[in-house]
Amino acid sequence: MSDKKMINLTIDGQKAAVPAGTTVMQAADGIGIHIPRLCFHPKLSTAGACRVCVVEIDGQKNFPVSCATAAAEGMNVKTNTPAIREARRDIVELILDNHPRDCQICEKNEDCDLQELANLFGIRDLRFDGERKRYSTDFSSPAIMRDPEKCILCGKCVRVCSEIQGVNALSYSHRGFKSTVVPAYNMGIKDSVCIACGQCTLFCPTGALMERDNTEEVFKNLADPEKFCAVQIAPAVRVAVGEGFGYAPGTDLTYEIVTALRMLGFKAVFDTQFSADLTIIEEGHELIDRIKNKGKLPMFTSCSPGWIKYCEHFHPEFLANLSTCKSPQQMMGALIKTYYSDKSGVPASKMYSVSVMPCTAKKFECSRDEMDSSGFRDVDVVLTTRELIRMIKQAGIKFNELKKGQFDDPLGESTGAAPIFGVTGGVMEAALRTAYEVITKKQLPAIELKAVRGLDGIREASVDVDGLQVNVAVVFSLSNVHKLLTEIKEGKRHYHFIEVMTCPGGCIGGGGQPYPQGITDPLDHTLYNMRGEGLYSIDEKKALRKSHENPLIAKIYKEFLKEPLGHMSHKLLHTHYHARCPEGIPTEVREKNVNV
């Protein structure tokens, strides 16, 4: 930065010196002035769509938007004059005029950027009352719902879907008053190329894009005396639930959550971390098998359901490279309705299996047709971290005063390799800890593989396993995945094993995680680091830190599964994938619209 030309400007009477190319908004941020904003996000391209960040600049007739105006030498910027305050208030009022006024019954109440701005600007009455857009809500997808009436056209969802995830499921359509953000051909989200990652739900400033709410369904089943409700919780959930109750991100509240789940009425509380350990055994053996028997390489991890759907949509040529292992959630689901059902004597038909995930795509995953190898749905319903927080609050549980609880046997014990599944690089680290020792029969020299940690989108490492150089890569965000896959196809990169996470930072940045509070934005590295550190510290505190050392894993193989990649494993823990054609463009839409 030092070799860049410095620009001197004045903002609200304060002098500021910034490198050339800095925007007025950034310059103001640097000297302690926060200009209000709605459509701006530091990690996305600049749209200048909402106009909320207007400022006054001497010599300019109109009020330019500070997010898209470059600082210039000698500029005199005013961000807080009566005229600017009035302009901003009018802008927000005009947005409100075309927005449903149902804050009291909106799920996004108190988490809504628009509501916050209206409050901040002191808007106490609405002077504009015109025609309001009317659309029906799209409930087609099991994961994401879209309410175009609440959409304020800021375009953050369009940009995150395109720039971060490279999926491009959404775009603006039509114009003027009729503008909406829709999937191609105005089709339902279910039929579009959407991979259900839910990043859009984190970015949406209002309630236009949210997860499908399954809390009522779960409450109903919990109250049903005929049902035996079992629940599992994912690693990343335990370091994020606290954010809904005033704890700092990354606070480990595993055992408080267990107590809360029991108070909600769950009869059995299991830990997805147990099946994460199991995944490592199965996936590790699959990798060893592929390397030894010249199977299809590189092998990709398969725990992230958004990535699986993305691969099925956009890169079916890599389907054979996906590990056939089900995700830990689905493995646990299958075991609850077989192994645990046998042990407890509760028939699987009476079981209602719930999982709490940091993820919206898991809602889609549990609804996949093939996920019923136990003879029943592996998992009946998925709740996001946000939904769990709502349920705990609704049930009147004083979360901050809870005593610690314990997971149920025999699916509740896990090693330190499991919690790190929730952070990018963690599955790779866990897999290498086990694969190294299984292959070499020697103790791993250093248990923490720092090379695969961090928040760079694509990371690679090479591990010496008994003379064999195993090349691995870790990648998150599907735009990075696309880049990596393209380079693999071009022969520029060669790997044995690749960990893919759909969401930035891994599951800790999942689409079902709590909305970032205060000034933290989604994609904020500080937030991810805090949640990630929470998971790494759980790992550090465990006496056993390698999946194959988990005594319950040894037990389940002895009693039930027999051997890794064996007959029982194949039936319950592995799955298959299929190209989803046409690429999110439904046949019925095609047949209806074309007279050919």
Partner 1 sequence: MAVKCLEIKGREVREKFKEIESFINTEHKLNDNQGMLMGVLHKTQEVFGYLPPEAMDMVSDRLGIPTAHIYGMASFYNYFTLKPRAKYQIFMCKGTACYVAGGGRVLEKLQETLGIGLGDMTPDHMFGLNITRCLGCCGLSPVMQINDDIYVRMGPEKVNAILDKYRKKETKKKKASR
Indicate which residues carry an active-site annotation.
283, 286, 303, 323, 362, 365, 370, 507
Which residues 68-87 are close enough to bind partner 1 by CB under 8 A? Answer: none
By CB under 8 A, residue 50 contacts partner 1: no
Q: Which of residues 291-320 bind partner 1 (CB under 8 A)?
A: 314
CA distance linking residue 197 with residue 215, whole number of Å? 19
Quote the CA–CA distance of 332 and 349 in Å, as a whole number: 16
Decide if residue 440 touches partner 1 (CB under 8 A): no
Phi, psi of 24 (to 5 degrees): -60, -35
The pair phi, psi for residue 179, each rounded to 5°, is -60, 135
Nearer to partner 1, 161 or 229 (CB): 161
Residue 586 CB, nearest approach to partner 1 (Å): 10
Rule CB under 8 A: is residue 105 a binding residue for partner 1? no
201 is a contact residue toward partner 1 (CB under 8 A): no
Distance CA 110, CA 280 (A): 40
522-to-67, 156, 189, 231, 516 alpha-carbon distances in Å: 18, 11, 22, 28, 6
CB 579 within 8 A of CB 320: no
Q: Which is nearer to partner 1, 31 or 581 (CB)?
A: 581
Asked if 206 and 114 count as a contact pair (C-beta separation under 8 A), the reply is yes
Considering beta carbons, is residue 191 or 365 the nearer one to partner 1? Answer: 191
| Contact call for residue 585 and partner 1 (CB under 8 A) | yes
Q: Which stretch binds partner 1 (CB under 8 A): 37-45, 110-118, 210-218, 580-588?
A: 580-588
Of 222-230, 296-304, 532-540, 579-587, the window that binds partner 1 (rule: CB under 8 A) is 579-587
The nearest distance, CB 171 to partner 1, in angstroms, is 4
Residue nearer to partner 1 on the CB measure, 187 or 391: 187
Measured between alpha carbons, how far is 249 from 251 in angstroms, rounded to an integer? Answer: 6
Q: In sequence order, what are the beta bridge partners of 100?
A: none
Distance in angstroms (rounded) separating the CA atoms of residues 110 and 463 = 48
CB 448 within 8 Å of CB 399: no
Which stretch, 83-91, 372-380, 449-457, 578-586, contacts partner 1 (CB under 8 A)?
578-586
CB 72 within 8 A of CB 6: no
> Least distance (Å) from partner 1 to the CB of residue 482?
11
CB nearer to partner 1: give 167 or 332. 167
Is the CB of 469 or the CB of 595 nearer to partner 1? 595
CA-to-CA separations, 217 to 82, 124, 210, 265, 376, in angstroms, rounded: 50, 37, 17, 14, 18
CB of 67 to partner 1, least distance (A): 22
Q: Is 98 in the site for partner 1 (CB under 8 A)?
A: no
Give 119 or 587: the residue with its C-beta nearer to partner 1: 587
Are 343 and 176 in contact by the 8 Å Cβ rule? The answer is no
Least distance from partner 1 to the Cβ atom of residue 185, Å: 5
Q: How many CA atoms lie within 13 A of 407 on its CB side?
A: 18
DSSP string, 535-584: HHHHHHH-S--SGGG-HHHHHHIIIII-STTSHHHHHHTB------SSSS
Cβ proximity to partner 1: between 61 and 592 the closer is: 592
Q: What are phi and psi of 240, to 5 degrees?
A: -125, -25
Site track 163-192 with partner 1 (rule: CB under 8 A), x = hit:
-----xxxxxxxx------xxxxx-----x
Alpha-carbon gap, residue 507 to 499, rounded angstroms: 13
> Rounded distance, CA 305 to CA 309, Å?
6
594 binds partner 1 per the rule CB under 8 A: yes
Selection from 92, 34, 83 nearest residue 61 by Cα: 83
**Position 593 contacts partner 1 (CB under 8 A):** yes
- Cα 548 to Cα 285: distance, rounded to the nearest angstrom: 11
CA–CA gap between residue 198 and residue 181 (Å, rounded): 15
Stretch 469-488 residues interacting with partner 1 (CB under 8 A): none
Copy the structure tokens of residue 87.
């302009």
Site for partner 1 in 135-164 (CB under 8 A): 162
Report how many residues bind partner 1 under the rule CB under 8 A.
Answer: 28
Does 578 sit near partner 1 (CB under 8 A)?
A: no
Q: Which of 53, 55, 193, 417 binds partner 1 (CB under 8 A)?
A: 193
The least CB distance from residue 136 to partner 1, in Å, is 18
Among 21, 42, 74, 582, binds partner 1 (CB under 8 A): 582
CB 140 to partner 1: min, Å: 16
Torsion of CA 237, 221, 329, 267, to 10 degrees: 80
Coil, strand or helix: which one is 355? strand
Binding mask 379-398 for partner 1 (x = CB under 8 A): --------------------
Residue 114 beta carbon to partner 1: minimum distance, rounded to whole angstroms: 23
Residue (46 or 171) nearer to partner 1, CB: 171
Residues that bind partner 1 (CB under 8 A): 162, 168-175, 182-186, 192-193, 314, 579, 581-583, 585, 589-590, 593-596
